[in-house]
Amino acid sequence: MIPTAFEYFAPKSLDEALRLVERHGDEAKLLAGGHSLLPLMKLRLSVPRYVIDIGRIKSLRSIREDAGALVIGALTTHHDMETSELVGSRCPLLAETAAEIGDVQVRNRGTVGGSLAHGDPAADYPAAMVALDAEIVVAASSGTRRIRAEDFFVDLLTTQLRPGEIVTEVRVPASPEMSGSAYCKLHQPASGFALVGAAAQIALDSNGKLASVAIGMTGVAVRAYRARAAEAVLAGNKPSGKLLAEAAEKVADGIEPLADLHASAAYRRAVASVYARRALETAISRANERKA
Ligand code: FAD
């Protein structure tokens, strides 16, 4: 349970960190909260020669508004997200999701950038990020690029990140008027991660019809995804119990659910449907409360 020897760097600026990742390439690992990296290093599943601790780069820990979007720095901890007034008012789905992550120690150390970059299929944020149409901003020495959350997650522990790139922030469009959201999660009892997590973000029009609906799922498959077939059943319609049941049945359409020692594929598919329906019902009732 002791990592192999490595050289440690603690850059104080993003430019310095970018120079280090460019110089050391595949042999380097970034360290943020360390809650996923350190266990992997102790088990020697990850054996970086260089560890670049970005925890001292103050500019990466911020939450602000910019041109109508909520902009969240990569080093924002889950606790920051859970307790931020700005996140709570502009994007309650993210605050609710953050509050579901691990325990208080994990939420105090773990960061949004680390969670997204790690690409764990059972992590919570990815469901909310895909439902919110968030953009993940990554920097390299050669410049920056923005990646839609839906495209960012590629496979098990695999994202679009290239060697030499650092996640710097996440941009989340502001929630529209008369909108509601909810995150519903079945916790894996030992680890606390999501066996299934469903994030719903909806908006109602003045006639009570669904003007927009987005459902993000995590834990079900190798990567988080948008449940497009279920969304198509609901979009433009007035929500009813029958319609929600029909949509929930389609939440894992076209998806190959994971099967492991915690849950079979059939169980995950069934639970995905139940939790997506709960998230949708809660989101719709919250939108109606805001309207009233
Ligand atoms: P680190 O461990 O420091 O890094 C993780 C990976 O991302 C490494 O490969 C690192 O090189 C890379 N990385 C880090 N920051 C960046 C960046 N800015 N740009 C590019 N690459 C980067 N998560 C959940 O979602 N739900 C849970 O219920 C949950 N429960 C947990 C319970 C326990 C006991 C523990 C230990 C963890 C749990 N987690 C859970 C994970 C936790 O949320 C971590 O925050 C998350 O896994 C990684 O964030 P980190 O900041 O610790 O990243």
Residues 1-28 have pLDDT tens digits of: 789 999 999 999 999 999 999 999 999 9
Residue 289 has pLDDT above 80, yes or no: yes
Q: Which of 8, 118, 137 to mutate to test the pocket of ligand 1 (most atoms within 8 A of CB)?
A: 118
Q: Which atom of ligand 1 is nearest to the CA of 32?
A: 3
The pick from 51, 115, 138 for probing ligand 1's pocket by mutation, whose C-beta has the most ligand atoms within 8 angstroms, reads 115
Check if CATH label 3.30.390.50 holds for domain 179-291.
yes
Q: Where are the domain boundaries for CATH 3.30.390.50 in the chain? A: 179-291
Dig out the tokens for 37 from the structure: 């990296």
Q: Confidence band (pLDDT; 50, 70, 90) for 177?
A: confident
pLDDT in tens, 92-130: 999 999 999 999 999 999 999 999 999 999 999 999 999
At 113 the pLDDT is 98
Give the residues surrounding ligand 1 with Cβ less than 6 Å away: 29-37, 74, 101-102, 106, 109-111, 113-115, 117-118, 123-124, 161, 166-167, 191-193
The CATH number assigned to the domain with range 7-53 reads 3.30.43.10
Asked whether the predicted pLDDT for residue 176 surpasses 90, the reply is no
Report the predicted TM-score, pTM, of the whole model to 2 decimal places: 0.96
Distance of CA 285 to the CA centre of its chain: 23
What architecture is the 58-172 domain classified under in CATH? 2-Layer Sandwich (3.30)
Ligand 1 centre distance from Cα of residue 57 (Å): 17
Give the Å distance between the CA of 287 and the centre of ligand 1.
Answer: 32
Q: Best of 27, 31, 36 to mutate for ligand 1, by most ligand atoms within 8 A of CB?
A: 36
Mean pLDDT to the nearest integer, 210-239:
98
Position 170 scores a pLDDT of 98
As a whole number, the mean pLDDT across the chain is: 96
pLDDT tens digit sequence for 142-155: 999 999 999 999 99
Average pLDDT over residues 26-38: 96
Asked if 255 and 226 count as a contact pair (C-beta separation under 8 A), the reply is no
Q: Categorize the per-residue pLDDT at 174 as very low, low, confident or very high, splitting at 50, 70 and 90.
A: confident
Within the chain, all domains assigned CATH 3.30.43.10 are found at 7-53
- Gap from CA of 278 to ligand 1 centroid (Å): 27
As annotated, the residues of the chain forming the CATH 3.30.465.10 domain(s) are 58-172
Reported as a single tens digit per residue, the pLDDT across 150-172 is 999 999 999 999 999 999 999 99
